[in-house]
Structure 1
Amino acid sequence: MKLFLLLLCFRGLFAVKHSLKYFLTETPGAQSIPEFVGVGFIDDIQFGGWNSRRGEEVKKDWIKFFEDYPQHLQQYSLECSASHHYFKATVETLNQRFNQTKDVHILQRMSGCEWDDETGEIIGYNQYGYDGEDFIAFDLHTVTWITPKPQAVTTKLRWNMDHARLERNKNFLSHLCPEFLKRHLHYGRSFLETAVLPSVSLLQKTPSSPVSCHATGFYPQRAMMFWRKDGEEIHEGVDPGEILVNNDGTFQMSVDLKLSSVRSEDWKRYDCVFQISGVKTRRDEDIVTKLDKGVIRTNWKKPTDILTFISAALVVLVFTIIAAVTFVIYKRKKVSVPGVSNL
């Protein structure tokens, strides 16, 4: 199941589009990870989770919310526990339907909603994926289940005949989900709208390698980084990387720029821009880093320096060997006696 990055709109320094998403993953037979994991996100920031080994877990920023709404935590836990057993049985059914062996397979569900607090528009989604591919999804506009997979047609027909299931999905995505989202936003707005800015560096492996604009230590992960030429965003010769999580919970990302066809005198026309969308920052501008050879960090050494080092090492090695041979010859001459063989 492909996960997409939400592009957030701006109103001053505040986001006008928010999201509540739930991800459920069942991996029967897995040894190194829990068989079932469920996590919830507000604006792509995790607020809690549940897994089949430890039960529920609440992130510290949302503890006050669940203290005031303990029924929500209880409901999440019960639904995750029920989904665990349901998903596990479903994987067994899909194994037969796909004519598969009982190896490790993955069943996933992504559900939730987006709410635009300026226009009031609501977008809801509820979709399942199996072994990394789309399996079946709920279409809120037609209030029907749709699928690209022949193996899911039986499920689609059965679920579309279940009018109670259709109404439950419609009600949750259109009403309950936006309501839950607004409650969460009320408690989390202070830190959801506050950003931690990163340190940005220019890195390069060799003079012929692309220059990587690398940002690390930012929070939250709703960030964008791109290269510009003469103030305009460019895409040719640009290779964006994924957003990765650091050990301290902050994030890092990079975007590479190929310079093989760029003349040295044109470097000053390029810069790298980092943005965090939909939050308050300590200052009201993007982080812009000019493409400058003088600030690029690299571990590369000139070949002449390497050859000089190797030559010096060889000279030392030769002198060491000569000294060792001379010492052995000297010792033998010193202890030898004419007419008597040494053992």
Structure 2
Amino acid sequence: MKETMKFIFLLFYLPFTYSVKHSLVIFLTTSSGLQTFPEFVAVAVVDGVQVDYYDSNIRSLEPRQEWVKELNEDDPQNLVSATQYYVCRYQCSKEDIDSIMQHFNQSVGVHILQRLTGCEWDDKTTINGYMDFAYEGEDFISLDLKNLTLLYSQHAATYKDKWDPSNIRVKITYNFLVSLCPDWLKKYLKYGESYLQRKVRPSVSLLQKTPSSPVSCHATGFYPDRASMFWRKDGEEIHEDVDHGEILPNHDGTFQMSVDLKISSVKPEDWSRYDCVFQFSDVKKDVITKLDKAEIRTNWGSTGIRNNEVPPSEFPVVAVIGVVVGLLLLLVCITGLFIWRKKNNGFRPAKTSDPSDRNPAPDHWE
């Protein structure tokens, strides 16, 4: 049980946002020693939306959007190819984790191998590709796509000679990242255009746990996740006594976020000078919420309710609903600490402008 909880904690440590215009990211998690969790889980995400799911228990590919089902009906070979990819990755991932465990003399206990593979594409056909591995929640191996070499962390240094001595894996991965992955992404974007490019404005509430707690401006139900939220005083953004939360997913594919304002130093007569602002990155009209005691929802007495939202009795769970749903859906939990470390420890995608600039690698799944 302790090992399982450690695994869940590992998977939950995330921010999950992308700064590029379009992306396809495939998260693979292979585990050993977990009896109640599939030993292999694969999740494909396009622009932050889960599109496909596969695990070693069901052993079939499950589309997670109606427009993905439509794509597979119109192009049956797409489903066949994707399924073959995940079957191959399952087999290879089992071999990888067994090899790593043997190398580190690990025969018992819970062990986790995570892999992130993805490509990013914009209207100028610029392609970014990356492949990163993490083992036991630590950076392990990363692909330098520009130089077609593998980068080994200190954790993986002693394993270097066993991973890809002939460089075949690098060539296969290169071929996937600059050819097949962008092709998949473009198909998803074509069939999911109306869904992926929609704009959904949030429902915004002011929340407060106790009379001395910060006032939380909480926005939920918005899409896409390219959004920001902040507090203003007299029309100017403020940073002092403000705490920004992460953008988290909801169960329906939308997102939520919050920003807290410490009001202990705010005089009662100055409350009307403050407001909370929600902004989409490419939408001019903001959602503005005035700091008003009558609008604050609390869990200790009478409350104000905004936009017919969740009853006050449910307030304690509002701030964590995305995390709970993330566990149930497995979409977010696959990213875990691996994503955070990728963004902060130097594992960055390398750009390639045209796959034809290099000799193509063998036509093989990786």
TM-score class normalised by the smaller sequence: 0.7 to 0.9
Compared CA separation, residues 272 and 172, structure 1 to 2 (3 A): same
The residue type equivalent to 1:172 in the other structure is F
Q: Distance in 2 between matches of 1:20 and 1:295?
A: 40
TM-superposed deviation, 1:141:
1.8
Structure 1 segment 159-198 matched on structure 2, within 5 A:
161-198=165-202
Residue 294 of structure 1 is matched in structure 2 by 294
In 1, Cα distance between the equivalents of 2:166 and 2:266? 61
Decide whether the 8 Å contact of 1:98 with 1:151 is kept in 2: no
* Residue 254 (structure 1) shift: 1.9
Q: Name which of structure 1's ranges 160-169 and 119-128 shifts more when overlaid on structure 2.
A: 160-169
Tell me if structure 2 keeps the 8 A contact 1:40–1:46. Answer: yes
Give the Cα–Cα distance (whole angstroms) in 1 for the partners of residues 44 and 278 of structure 2: 27
SS at match of 1:261: coil
Same amino acid, percent of matched pairs? 52
Task: Name the residue aligned to 1:263.
Answer: 267
Q: Name 2:83's counterpart in structure 1.
A: 77
CA distance in 1 between counterparts of 2:264 and 2:207 reads: 16
- Structure 2, unaligned stretches of length 5 or more? 1-10, 303-366
Q: Displaced runs of 4+ in structure 1, greater than 4 A? A: 1-4, 157-161
Structure 2 CA distance for partners of 1:133 and 1:163, relative to 1, 3 Å? closer
Q: Which moved more, 1:171-180 or 1:195-204?
A: 171-180
Q: CA deviation at 1:47?
A: 1.0
Query: Match of 1:61?
Result: 67
Gaps of 5+ in 1: 9-16, 303-343
Code of the residue aligned with 2:264 in structure 1: it is S
Alignment-mate amino acid for residue 197 of structure 1: R
For 1:109, the equivalent position in structure 2 comes to 115
> Which protein is bigger by CA-based radius of gyration?
1
SS of the residue aligned with 1:224? strand
Residue 220 of structure 1 deviates from its aligned partner by: 4.0
| Helix, strand or coil at the partner of 2:178 | helix
8 Å CA contact 2:24–2:120 kept in 1: the answer is yes
The CA deviation at 1:160 is: 5.9
Aligned counterparts of 1:153 and 1:277: Cα–Cα separation in 2: 45
Distance 1:270 1:97, change over 3 A: farther
Instruction: Give the corresponding residue for 2:142.
Output: 137
Give the superposition deviation at 1:192. 0.6
How far has the Cα of 1:250 moved from its partner?
Answer: 3.7
Matches within 5 A, 1:197-276: 197-276=201-280
> Is 1:51 aligned to 2:55, yes or no?
yes
8 Å CA contact retained: 2:49, 2:253: no
* CA displacement at 1:166 relative to structure 2: 2.6
Q: Which residue number in structure 2 is paired with residue 29 of structure 1?
A: 33
In 1, Cα distance between equivalents of 2:33 and 2:190 = 40
Tell me, what secondary structure is at the counterpart of 1:272?
Answer: strand
In 2, Cα distance between the equivalents of 1:135 and 1:182?
A: 30
Equivalents in 2 of 1:92, 1:166: separation in Å? 20
Q: Distance in 2 between matches of 1:27 and 1:138?
A: 22
Q: 1:161: Cα distance to partner?
A: 4.3
Q: Distance in 2 between matches of 1:194 and 1:269?
A: 33
Which residue of structure 1 aligns with residue 100 of structure 2?
Answer: 94
Instruction: Kindly provide the amino acid, as one letter, of the partner of residue 129 in structure 2.
Output: G
Q: Could you tell me how far 1:253 is from its partner in structure 2?
A: 2.5
Whether the aligned pair in 2 keeps the contact of 1:24 and 1:38 (CA below 8 Å) is: yes
Amino acid at match of 1:75: S
SS of equivalent residue, structure 1 residue 77: helix
Q: Deviations over 1:192-216 (max 9, x none)?
A: 1113322110011222110011122
Higher RCO by CA contacts (8 Å cutoff, separation 6 or greater) = 2
Secondary structure class of the residue paired with 1:217: strand
My pick for the range that moved more, 291-300 or 243-252, is 243-252
Give the structure 2 partner of residue 147 of structure 1.
Answer: 152
Distance 1:169 1:89 in 2: 17
Per the alignment, in what secondary structure is the counterpart of residue 24 of structure 2? Answer: strand
Shift, 1:48, TM fit: 1.0
1:177 counterpart SS class:
helix
| Cα distance in 2 for residues equivalent to 1:229 and 1:254 | 17
Q: CA deviation at 1:179?
A: 2.6
Instruction: Answer whether contact 1:238 1:258 (CA < 8 A) is retained.
Output: yes
State how far apart, in whole Å, the 2-side matches of 1:276 and 1:37 are: 33
Q: CA deviation at 1:110?
A: 0.5
Instruction: Tell me, yes or no, if the aligned pair for 1:218 and 1:251 is still in contact at 8 Å.
Output: yes
CA distance in 2, matches of 1:203, 1:83: 45
Distance 2:222 2:176 in 1: 33
TM-score (norm 1): 0.75
Give the distance between the partners of 1:33 and 1:222, measured in 2 at CA.
32
Q: What is the distance in 1 between the residues matched to 2:149 and 2:15?
A: 22
Counterpart residue type for residue 104 of structure 2: F
Give the aligned residue type for 2:45: F
2:130 aligned partner: 125
How well do the aligned residues superpose, as a CA RMSD in angstroms?
2.6
What's the TM-score once normalised by structure 2's chain length?
Answer: 0.70
